[in-house]
Amino acid sequence: MTYLLALDQGTSSSRSIVFDAQGRVVASAQQELPQIYPQPGWVEHDPQQIWRTQLATAREALARAALSARDVRALGITNQRETTLLWHRRTGQPVHHAIVWQDRRGEPLCAQLRAQGAAALVQRRTGLLIDAYFSATKLRWLLDHVPGARAQAERGELAFGTVDSWLVWQLTGGRVHATDVSNAARTMLFDVHRNRWDDELLALLDIPAALLPEVRPSSALYGETEADLLGHAVPIAGIAGDQQAALFGQACLAPGMAKNTYGTGCFMLMHTGETALPSNNGLITTSAAQTSATPEYALEGSVFVAGAVVQWLRDGLHAIRCSSEVQALAQSVPDAGGVMVVPAFTGLGAPYWKPDARGTVTGLSRGSTLAHIARAALESIAYQSAALLQAMSRDAVAAGAPPLAELRVDGGAAVNDLLMQFQADLLSIPVLRPAVTETTALGAACLAGLATGVFAGREALARLWRVERRFLPTMPRAQAAERMQAWEHAVRQATAE
């Protein structure tokens, strides 16, 4: 048997999963990653804790599978994107906590860049909108606020990386400082058309080029792990940011195929092939996972609060004791009774991009109950995702492509049948849930397997994908359109000044 090991380093946990050559989960392990909140709007992680938890889960997953590292053909890495680390090249010690993708401390610099008229340049080169979400302003903050960091960076003594680069550095004992195109594309410093760091953007942000990792395809041999870490050296042969890895793991390998991941937030990506499709509808253009030197692209939209609205029901309103109870509570009423929840707890992401929006509950009546609010909160996940898909379809049609024919789904909230059915109803297209829902880790494993000959080609990967349930729309299109109009009205109320 041939096995692949995927390291899945996420925002709230580090996981490792062993897959066989048929893409089936053999064993897994997971450890929680503590969150650090120095002040409102700031989110950090301890880089050493990221490394310790990731290594521990890799060892535990192999032990649970009753395998040794000698049984593993290759290792793939997928990671929380945009999270920014800076460390000493000589010692490997971080100069500061990692600044997490959710962190908003870079917003003043973003506002300054917008005021300078840099938005068009940034979008043209990177496909991104200027936002504190991306790595560049986080890195600039570290250089400006950590004593001595800028001088050390200019002398070439420091290394910058997203989480994948940090893990590769640790796994290889500091021999390899590299990233893949899908992670580089999230920094706001990378020219996605020429597949290289952009000197003009580095100058604009005042970031020394000596900090940057080498950029490679997502499916490529990066190096080998230190033998003593897992008991034997294992090739590192695949890297992709979590959402691009999920797109790959969902076998969305051709233009027009799309997936949506329902996690703390929602992330919808549509593959656009070798065309970097610009968006006129509030989405971003990003690099997809690449299996060669040829660039591949995707349109992406991010919902900031999805599964987190269920946590709010649990921890804020105490409407449920555990997240798994939300479906039963929501189904205890036939509909939301006119209630709308817009969970803009941290502003609204795509396609609205309203950072100052705040959460609202509208449409309350004397008959409204917690069950109605719970159903409206659950439905808000589908409404936000539908707005994303409609924006994607408009961009696709404007470029001469057909509208989306189906949506593949994954993530924790994708197990909720009520939510998935409502999603299909709003979209008026089938929603497909795969048999293997660990698509992010599977994508990383497949990228590693492709680079090491486990899989003959992309067609073989497409055959691995199997559907577990297909949700077909049952709501008339006119009714779905009315529902979306009501949602957009609620959004306008949440963003009214």
CATH number of 3-243: 3.30.420.40
Average pLDDT over residues 113-129: 93
Q: For the chain, which residues make up each domain, given as ranges?
A: 3-243
C-alpha atoms less than 13 angstroms from C-alpha of 84 in its C-beta half-sphere: 28
Q: What tokens were used for 287?
A: 């690099």
Which pLDDT belongs to residue 438?
84
Which pLDDT belongs to residue 326?
83
Query: Predicted confidence band at 247 (pLDDT cuts at 50, 70, 90)?
Result: very high
Structure confidence by residue, pLDDT tens digits, 38-89: 988 888 999 999 999 999 999 999 999 999 999 999 999 999 999 999 999 9
Which pLDDT belongs to residue 79?
95
Identify whether the C-beta of residue 161 lies closer than 8 Å to the C-beta of residue 179: yes
Mean pLDDT of the chain: 91
Q: Count the neighbouring beta carbons within 10 Å of the beta carbon of residue 470.
A: 12
Query: Predicted confidence band at 492 (pLDDT cuts at 50, 70, 90)?
Result: confident
Which pLDDT belongs to residue 191?
96
Across 104-115, b (16+ Cβ under 10 Å) vs e yields bbbbebbeebee
Query: Predicted confidence band at 497 (pLDDT cuts at 50, 70, 90)?
Result: low
pTM of the model: 0.88
Query: Predicted confidence band at 255 (pLDDT cuts at 50, 70, 90)?
Result: confident
Q: Is the pLDDT assigned to residue 334 strictly greater than 80?
A: yes
C-alpha atoms less than 13 angstroms from C-alpha of 346 in its C-beta half-sphere: 22
Q: What tokens were used for 128?
A: 């991104």
Q: Is the pLDDT assigned to residue 160 strictly greater than 70?
A: yes
Q: Amino acid identity of 309? A: V
Average pLDDT over residues 408-427: 91
Structure confidence by residue, pLDDT tens digits, 194-232: 999 999 999 999 999 999 999 999 999 999 999 999 999
Average pLDDT over residues 242-269: 90
Which pLDDT belongs to residue 94?
97
Query: Predicted confidence band at 115 (pLDDT cuts at 50, 70, 90)?
Result: very high
- Cα 184 from Cα 81, distance rounded (Å): 9
Which pLDDT belongs to residue 254?
86
Structure confidence by residue, pLDDT tens digits, 450-461: 999 999 888 888
Q: What tokens were used for 112?
A: 């300054």
Query: Predicted confidence band at 168 (pLDDT cuts at 50, 70, 90)?
Result: very high
Identify whether the C-beta of residue 239 lies closer than 8 Å to the C-beta of residue 179: yes
Across 124-155, b (16+ Cβ under 10 Å) vs e yields ebbbbbbbbbbbbbbbbbbbeebeebbebbee
Look at residues 378, 376, 404 and name the one whose alpha carbon lies nearest to residue 391.
404
Identify whether the C-beta of residue 420 lies closer than 8 Å to the C-beta of residue 409: yes
Structure confidence by residue, pLDDT tens digits, 276-326: 888 888 888 999 999 988 999 999 998 888 878 888 888 888 888 887 788
Q: What tokens were used for 279?
A: 């968006």
Strand, helix or coil at 327?
A: helix
